């Protein structure tokens, strides 16, 4: 799910991606992977850091991967998980803020998003 411009995101794509983030545990997993950077974390280390383990972590990773937000790659005997959709997350924020204050009569000075 790579977008160059937030206007590329349809309402359906945004809703689907936000739905994938609609769980406290999934959001915690994604935030942990974002903190880890491009190298990612082993599934075991991810579980330790988030407190989400076993089949629950597998389930959440599957949903995040289907949304295009994370990847899982086998390295030897480990599975390495990484956040990959930094642009997509940025685009989701832009999608929400794109029309901020559009219906107000005056410029939205208190909500400068640039």
Longest dimension (CA), the chain: 60
| Domain annotation for the chain: domains and CATH numbers | 6-111 (1.10.10.10)
Q: How far is it, in rounded angstroms, from Cα 88 to Cα 13?
A: 10
CA 41, 66, 31: angle at the middle one, nearest 5? 40
Q: What is the pLDDT of residues 78-87, one digit of tens each?
A: 999 999 888 8
Answer yes or no: are the C-beta atoms of 23 and 60 closer than 8 Å: yes
* pLDDT confidence of residue 92: 83
- Mean model confidence pLDDT for the chain: 84
Query: pTM of whole model > 0.85?
Result: no
* pLDDT confidence of residue 6: 45
In 10 A of CB 76, how many CB atoms?
6
Q: What is the pLDDT of residues 37-72, one digit of tens each?
A: 989 999 999 999 999 999 999 999 999 999 989 999
């Amino acid at each position: 799910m790579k977008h160059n411009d937030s206007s590329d995101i349809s309402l359906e794509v945004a809703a689907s991606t936000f739905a994938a983030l609609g769980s406290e545990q999934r959001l915690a997993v994604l935030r942990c992977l974002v903190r880890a950077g491009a190298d990612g974390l082993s599934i075991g280390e991810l579980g330790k850091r988030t407190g989400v383990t076993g089949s629950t972590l597998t389930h959440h990773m599957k949903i995040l991967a289907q949304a295009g937000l994370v990847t899982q790659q086998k390295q030897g005997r480990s599975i390495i998980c990484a956040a990959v959709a930094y642009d997509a997350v940025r685009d989701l924020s832009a999608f929400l803020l794109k029309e901020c204050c559009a219906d107000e009569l005056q410029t939205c000075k208190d909500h400068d998003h640039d």
